Amino acid sequence: MNQRIEKTMSVVMRQKDGSKKELKLIKEELEGPLLEILEKKKIKHPFGCRSGTCGVCRMEIFTGQEALSPPRLSEEDTLKRCEDDPNRVRLCCQVELWWNEGMIVEIAEAPEVKLKDE
């Protein structure tokens, strides 16, 4: 009996109660921003604008930064106004996952901050 073994990568979400939720993804599921991927999997993550300007969907990155797209200018601006390090915090509505078989990207909701005006 031949079983097909799917090649996957994982997104592990640290929950506020300390538990972790793991989402295994195949390459074909990596289309669009991480927020859209989570929504397709019925996983809720806070968001506001979906354009990278409000900062509501900020998430801390613990592992797997190399599997994330680089920040766009609008995301960089928002992270700067939140005083966030783009190597540690990203916007869920902007960041895309890049296929990296076996990679584990571990994230959590970032603490709320008040955006600074420029």
Domain count, the chain: 1
Query: Which pLDDT band holds residue 114 (cuts at 50, 70, 90)?
Result: confident
- As given in the structure block, the two tokens for residue 9 are 């990568």
> Looking at the domain assignment, is residue 18 inside a domain?
yes
- As given in the structure block, the two tokens for residue 67 are 């599997």
> Looking at the domain assignment, is residue 3 inside a domain?
no
Domain range for 22 is 9-109
Listed residue (56, 63, 59) closest to 85, CA to CA: 59
Entry pTM: 0.88
pLDDT digits 0-9 by tens, 3-25: 666 799 999 999 889 899 999 99
- As given in the structure block, the two tokens for residue 39 are 């929504």
Tell me the CATH number at 18: 3.10.20.30
Residue with tokens 């901050």: 113
> Looking at the domain assignment, is residue 116 inside a domain?
no
pLDDT digits 0-9 by tens, 52-105: 999 999 999 999 999 999 999 999 999 999 999 999 999 999 999 999 999 999
> Looking at the domain assignment, is residue 75 inside a domain?
yes
> Looking at the domain assignment, is residue 117 inside a domain?
no
> Looking at the domain assignment, is residue 4 inside a domain?
no
Which has the higher per-residue pLDDT, 94 or 112?
94
> Looking at the domain assignment, is residue 114 inside a domain?
no
> Looking at the domain assignment, is residue 118 inside a domain?
no
